[in-house]
Amino acid sequence: MADRWLIFTPAPPGTHRIALYPARENTPTAVQIAQTELLPSIIARKAVELDFAGMDLCTQSWLHALLFEAVRIAWALRVPIHAIHADPAVTEGLRFLESYALGG
């Protein structure tokens, strides 16, 4: 886990879970989720679980709105972000975002 903050396994029981399907491809809603749910959990040093069930792809702009800042803060605070039910195309987008969010 040393260089990965997005983890593609379920989080421990009791972890804050965020279902993303209702917000699919709605960038303003992704920003709202990031600001009201995702970032506060990470800043409190609590792992989160993002549920991508039902989403066969995500645009990079939507993923960026949701996760760019969160990945950077999660890295700084050493807090994992779990992604579950991510189809291969979504996983690829998440790995790409993590790579550029962390500068490499």
pLDDT tens digits, residue range 49-92? Answer: 999 999 999 999 999 999 999 999 999 999 999 999 999 999 99
Architecture per CATH, domain 6-101, reads as 2-Layer Sandwich (3.30)
pLDDT tops 90 at residue 104:
no
pLDDT digits (tens, 9 = 90+) for 2-26: 457 899 999 999 999 999 999 999 9
pLDDT digits (tens, 9 = 90+) for 24-37: 999 999 999 999 99
- Per-residue confidence at 103, pLDDT binned at 50, 70, 90? confident
Q: Considering only CA atoms, which of 67, 87, 90 is closest in space to residue 79?
A: 67
Could you give the angle at the alpha carbon of 41 between the alpha carbons of 74 and 19, nearest 5°?
Answer: 100
Q: 20 is written with which tokens?
A: 């993303």
Contacts of 29 (CB under 8 A, 6+ apart): 22, 23
In whole angstroms, give the CA distance from residue 89 to residue 102: 20
